[in-house]
């Protein structure tokens, strides 16, 4: 029973499970959980259950379990709330308890004890029925090695929620303020660059709107952890951006007659330079939006690679937009977003606990098809072109920056090959969010 583990012992609990599993192995846990948004208050207070029924008991939240599993090699791969079914069970228990009151009293229990447990059954029945608490069936998959530093002792940093840490909203505001300050300095030189911060703002508004709609229309969204909600809404924005970016990349490639792939091609002569600059500026704005979301919601704790990934992409696209160099070439590489769109759509279905295995298998086939066509082959060709046209770059630093960025993109595409294995139909791991 994970409810008997305690907050401070959760890391040791998950590391013990991680050590017991082989790679690819799964662990299933049934956990009565409190919602993430009330977890801090729950840790600092008591209630009827902890005072009278289960002294020393502790209901974790999904976010606390995910945090505690960091370094254990375990990834959250399934999440199902059976709370409403448990409410039915508790109702049956209460009715049986009421029907056999005489039998309980005959065993020597007094009326106070009987009333206490009748209230306990009714109390929990109402809590699960109203989604005030949840009963999750959680599946964990062993995806990587367990950290050797962790032993079975309680984790010092997990003793209680800490108010001394920087508020994540403040972290997000700091990053956003720095970004918009630098964007303002840049825009003063080239007004087209205003598209970057404008796109960042609009993507943020869109994410909040989508999260608001989902919270009212999708029951499975309401029981997600705050981190999962942030990933879901940000990924939905990424899906929309990815589809538009892929269409823009193909359209630009067709309009240029394929010449955009030539690093020495002068797009100004064909009247297509402004379009390429605009595409790259909007892409930089999207990268800034996603980076801001990762920091604001502390998603880097589950996916540190995405923090690095979008930092590199933001630097890469911003440099190209600011210098207005090779933007046609970079715009065409956005065809890779078609593959990312299929990955994201599959993951969104998983987060919503979709039971459409055939659709998810078809999406996975599309991922396997588009990975070489839209990512590996174009990116390998682009890297070769950059290396063979070193003279096309005005500065050596910019050349090396382009090579490093292209190598990173190719590395991420190769990494996807390793993770393109049959996907679960439930919640996917939060560690694979670099596209």
pLDDT tens per residue across all 435 residues of the chain: 899 999 989 999 999 999 999 888 999 999 999 998 888 889 888 888 888 898 889 999 999 999 888 888 888 888 899 999 999 999 999 999 999 999 989 999 899 999 999 999 999 999 999 989 999 999 999 876 555 544 444 444 444 444 444 444 445 555 555 555 555 555 555 678 888 888 988 998 899 999 889 888 877 777 666 777 888 899 999 999 999 999 999 999 999 988 888 888 888 777 888 999 999 999 999 999 999 888 888 888 778 888 899 999 999 898 888 888 889 999 999 999 999 999 888 877 766 655 566 787 888 889 899 999 999 999 999 999 999 999 888 888 889 999 999 999 999 998 887 766 444 433 334 444 555
Tokens at 106, concatenated: 């005959």
User: Strands of 134-142's sheet, edge to edge?
Assistant: 26-33, 134-142, 74-81
Alpha carbons 347 and 349: distance in angstroms, whole number: 5
Alpha carbons 152 and 159: distance in angstroms, whole number: 14
Element (H, E) at 78: strand 74-81
In sequence order, what DSSP letters do the residues of 242-280 get, joined into one string?
HHHHHHHHHHHHHHTTTGGG-TT--GGGGT-HHHHHHHH
Answer for the pair 154, 7: CB distance below 8 angstroms, yes or no: no
List, in sequence order, every residue forming a beta bridge with 125; answer none if it has no partner: none
CATH 3.40.50.150 in the chain, residues? Answer: 2-149
Alpha carbons 286 and 164: distance in angstroms, whole number: 31
Label residue 270 exposed, middle or buried (CB < 10 Å: 0-12, 13-18, 19+): middle
C-alpha dist (Å) from residue 222 to 166, 230, 315: 27, 12, 35
Alpha carbons 249 and 255: distance in angstroms, whole number: 10
pLDDT of residue 319: 87
Answer for the pair 69, 96: CB distance below 8 angstroms, yes or no: no
Answer for the pair 23, 70: CB distance below 8 angstroms, yes or no: no
Answer for the pair 326, 263: CB distance below 8 angstroms, yes or no: yes
Tokens at 243, concatenated: 């589809």
CB contact set of 414 (below 8 Å; sequence gap of 6+): 376
8-state DSSP, 1: -
Answer for the pair 246, 309: CB distance below 8 angstroms, yes or no: no
Alpha carbons 195 and 175: distance in angstroms, whole number: 18
Can you give the pTM of this predicted structure? 0.59
8-state DSSP, 280: H
Alpha carbons 347 and 208: distance in angstroms, whole number: 19
CB contact set of 115 (below 8 Å; sequence gap of 6+): none
Q: 2-149 architecture in CATH?
A: 3-Layer(aba) Sandwich (3.40)
């Amino acid at each position: 029973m994970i409810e008997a583990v305690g907050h401070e012992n959760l890391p040791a609990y998950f590391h013990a499970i991680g050590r017991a599993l082989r790679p690819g192995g799964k662990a299933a846990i049934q956990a009565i959980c409190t919602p993430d948004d009330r977890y801090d208050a729950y840790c600092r207070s008591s209630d009827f259950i902890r005072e009278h029924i289960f002294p020393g008991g502790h209901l974790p939240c999904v976010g606390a379990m995910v945090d505690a599993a960091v370094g254990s090699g375990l990834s959250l791969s399934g999440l199902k709330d059976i709370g409403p079914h448990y409410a039915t069970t508790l109702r049956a228990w209460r009715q049986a308890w009421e029907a056999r009151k005489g039998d309980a009293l005959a065993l020597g229990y007094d009326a106070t004890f009987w009333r206490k447990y009748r209230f306990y059954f009714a109390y929990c029945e109402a809590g699960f029925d109203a989604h005030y608490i949840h009963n999750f069936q959680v599946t964990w998959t062993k995806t990587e090695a367990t950290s050797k530093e962790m032993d079975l002792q309680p984790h010092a940093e997990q003793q209680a929620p800490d108010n001394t840490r920087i508020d994540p909203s403040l972290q997000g505001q700091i990053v956003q303020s720095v970004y918009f300050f630098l964007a303002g300095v840049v825009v003063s030189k080239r007004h087209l660059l205003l598209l970057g911060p404008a796109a960042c703002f609009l993507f943020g508004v869109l994410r909040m709107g989508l999260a608001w709609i989902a919270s009212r229309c999708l029951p499975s969204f309401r029981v997600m952890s705050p981190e999962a909600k942030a990933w879901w809404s940000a990924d939905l924005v990424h899906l929309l951006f990815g589809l538009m970016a892929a269409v823009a990349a193909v359209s630009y490639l067709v309009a240029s007659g394929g010449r955009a792939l030539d690093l020495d091609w002068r797009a100004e002569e064909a009247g297509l330079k402004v379009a390429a600059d605009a595409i790259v500026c909007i892409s930089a704005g999207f990268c800034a939006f996603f980076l801001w979301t990762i920091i604001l919601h502390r998603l880097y704790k589950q996916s540190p690679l995405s923090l690095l990934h979008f930092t590199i992409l933001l630097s890469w696209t911003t440099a190209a937009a600011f210098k207005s160099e090779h933007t046609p070439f970079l715009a065409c590489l956005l065809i890779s977003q078609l593959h990312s769109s299929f990955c994201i759509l599959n993951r969104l279905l998983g987060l919503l606990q979709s039971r459409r295995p055939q659709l998810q298998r078809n999406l996975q086939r599309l991922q396997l098809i588009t990975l070489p066509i839209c990512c590996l082959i174009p990116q390998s060709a682009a890297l070769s072109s950059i290396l063979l046209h070193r003279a096309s770059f005005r500065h050596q630093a910019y050349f090396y920056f382009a090579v490093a960025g292209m190598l990173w993109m190719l590395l991420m595409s190769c990494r996807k090959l390793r993770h393109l294995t049959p996907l679960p139909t439930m919640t996917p791991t939060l560690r694979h969010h670099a596209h």
